[in-house]
């Protein structure tokens, strides 16, 4: 097939797909033969055959600042300069949309699929088709409930350990302040139901919390990793429970915590260091470091979004005929109001 002419600069080209406005190609003027997306169909779309590796990347959406950092990292890594033709798909926080896009990208015969699944379930059929079509799949960030033989590897964070580390910090803080025997009521803001990040963090939190009979979960509610829902859910919690009954707020990402902070401020509540409300979050965004320096946020357990380089390396290894590991964990730390000032200048997202 004639080599396609590629634009020398990265350009977001809207691609009119069956799913309309879902797909953007980054870095090239490719012609797309989109086909009706459905279950297990084949396509006459031409096989990509160029000097560039065509990668279909299906992202969750734009639910958080963490997500934006992750998306930008993929855009900055999968460039034509690095030898890629990137077809970016915004899943718009809709897992059905993600699966349909995967069928379409398979029909377009991309060279690789990278998927960040909003939720773990619903991927078996389309991953099976990708395997039948000899399209290697990399699962990035969140995990899937599917046979690991259906994808090359999973790259992401140990979410359960993140939850365990958050709860262990809480105990160490209480012990340091002579409060380890206090009865505590804990509010948990959970991420998206069915998302491996929420499942893992919740599992780790509950496992550690259950070790302390004086710790009580007042309520645990889903706020979908978004700031707006963090505010709305926390507002309702502050209506349902007396403010003085809340001793700890744990949010499964920073954006929901930012939203919860807005609700607590509107209710006239103080929170953070030297108050009655301990605040614990996940992601370790730059804004979280600013709030930790102010003492409003006491902990943010890091979850590193800058993982596109690992996906790039896996593809390069596969292209070179090398074997790759089935799991790649990213390096992560726990940051607190006590060490935020030391690290904030190094933060990249
Ligand atoms: C975790 C990632 C989560 C972040 C949220 O790896 O999937 O999704 O913690 C994001 O901020 O929305």
CB of residue 253 inside a 6 A radius of ligand 1: yes
- Under DSSP, the state recorded for 109 is T
Residue 125 CA, distance from chain mean position:
23
Query: 233-251, pLDDT tens digit by residue?
Result: 999 999 999 999 999 999 9
- Cα of 304 vs centre of ligand 1, distance in Å, is 9
- Test site for ligand 1: of 142, 283, 302, 308, most ligand atoms within 8 A of the Cβ: 283
Would you place residue 17 in the very low, low, confident or very high pLDDT band (cuts 50, 70, 90)?
very low
Query: In Å, what is the CA distance from 296 to each residue of 51, 160, 247, 291?
Result: 51, 25, 14, 5
- Under DSSP, the state recorded for 107 is H
Query: In Å, what is the CA distance from 42 to each residue of 16, 96, 124, 190, 266?
Result: 19, 19, 17, 39, 55
Share above pLDDT 70 across residues of the chain, in percent, rounded to a whole number: 86
Tokens of 344: 């904030």
Q: Which residue has the higher pLDDT, 278 or 10?
A: 278
Sequence ranges of the chain with CATH classification 3.40.50.2300? 2-157+305-331, 159-303
CB of residue 258 inside a 6 A radius of ligand 1: no
Which whole number is the average pLDDT over 145-166?
A: 98
The pLDDT, as a whole number, for residue 25 is 52
Q: What is the DSSP string of 11-57?
A: -EEEE--TTSS-EEEESS----------SS----PPPP-SSSEEEEE
CB of residue 227 inside a 6 A radius of ligand 1: no
Query: 129-148, pLDDT tens digit by residue?
Result: 999 999 999 999 999 999 99
Mean pLDDT over the full length of the chain: 89
CATH architecture, domain 2-157+305-331: 3-Layer(aba) Sandwich (3.40)
Q: Report the C-alpha gap between 306 and 72 in whole angstroms.
A: 9
pTM value is 0.87
Q: What is the DSSP string of 269-292?
A: ---STTSS-EEEEEE--HHHHHHH
Q: Which residue has the tokens 């084949």?
A: 42
The answer to whether 217 touches 188, Cβ cutoff 8 Å, is yes
The pLDDT, as a whole number, for residue 24 is 58
Evaluated on CA atoms 19, 24, 28, 29, the torsion sign reads positive
Query: 34-69, pLDDT tens digit by residue?
Result: 333 333 222 333 445 578 999 999 999 999 999 999
- Cα of 220 vs centre of ligand 1, distance in Å, is 18
The answer to whether 10 touches 82, Cβ cutoff 8 Å, is no
Q: Is 19 a residue whose pLDDT tops 60? A: no
Query: Please, what is the angle between helix 254-266 and helix 65-77, to 10°?
Result: 150
Share above pLDDT 90 across residues of the chain, in percent, rounded to a whole number: 85
Neighbours of 262 (CB within 10 A): 16
The answer to whether 218 touches 248, Cβ cutoff 8 Å, is no
CB of residue 197 inside a 6 A radius of ligand 1: yes
Burial class (CB in 10 A: 0-12, 13-18, 19+), 157: buried
Q: Report the C-alpha gap between 164 and 202 in whole angstroms.
A: 9
- Cα of 286 vs centre of ligand 1, distance in Å, is 15
Question: Which atom of ligand 1 is least distant from the CA of 195?
Answer: 7
CB of residue 157 inside a 6 A radius of ligand 1: yes
- Cα of 230 vs centre of ligand 1, distance in Å, is 14
Sequence-ordered list of residues with C-beta below 8 angstroms from that of 149, at least 6 positions apart, any chain: 131
Query: 291-313, pLDDT tens digit by residue?
Result: 999 999 999 999 999 999 999 99
Q: Report the C-alpha gap between 168 and 90 in whole angstroms.
A: 36
Classified by CATH at the fold level, domain 159-303 comes out as: Rossmann fold (3.40.50)
Please measure the distance between the N-terminal and C-terminal CA atoms of the chain and give it in whole angstroms.
41
């Amino acid at each position: 097939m004639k080599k396609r002419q590629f634009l020398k600069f990265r350009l977001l080209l809207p691609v009119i797909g069956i799913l309309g406005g879902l797909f953007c190609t980054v870095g090239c003027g490719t012609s797309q033969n989109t086909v009706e997306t459905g279950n297990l169909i084949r396509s006459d779309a031409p096989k990509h055959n160029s000097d560039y590796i065509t990668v279909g990347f299906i992202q969750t959406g734009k639910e958080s600042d963490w997500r934006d950092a992750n998306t930008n990292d993929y855009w900055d890594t999968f460039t034509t300069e690095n030898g890629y033709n990137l077809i970016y798909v915004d899943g718009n926080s809709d897992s059905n949309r993600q699966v349909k896009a995967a069928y379409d990208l398979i029909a377009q015969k991309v060279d690789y699929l990278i998927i960040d699944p909003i939720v773990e379930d619903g991927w078996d059929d389309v991953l099976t088709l990708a395997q039948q079509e000899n399209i290697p799949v990399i699962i990035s960030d969140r995990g899937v409930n599917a046979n690991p033989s259906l994808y090359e590897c999973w790259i992401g964070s140990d979410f359960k350990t993140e939850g365990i580390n958050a709860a262990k910090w809480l105990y160490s803080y209480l012990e340091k302040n002579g409060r380890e025997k206090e009865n505590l009521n804990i509010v948990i803001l959970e991420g998206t139901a069915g998302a491996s990040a929420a499942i893992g963090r919740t599992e780790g939190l509950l496992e550690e919390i259950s070790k302390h009979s004086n710790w009580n979960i007042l309520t645990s509610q889903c706020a979908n990793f978004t700031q707006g829902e963090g505010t709305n859910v926390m507002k309702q919690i502050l209506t349902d429970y007396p403010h003085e009954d809340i001793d700890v707020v744990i949010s499964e990402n920073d954006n929901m915590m930012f939203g919860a902070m807005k609700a607590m401020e509107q209710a006239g509540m103080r929170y953070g260091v030297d108050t009655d409300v301990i605040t614990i979050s996940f992601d370790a965004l730059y804004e979280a470091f600013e709030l930790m320096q102010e003492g409003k946020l006491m902990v943010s357990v890091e979850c590193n979004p800058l993982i596109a380089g690992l996906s790039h390396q896996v593809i390069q290894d596969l292209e070179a005929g090398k074997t790759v590991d089935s799991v790649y964990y990213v390096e992560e730390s726990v940051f607190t109001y006590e060490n935020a000032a030391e690290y904030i200048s190094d933060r990249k997202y």
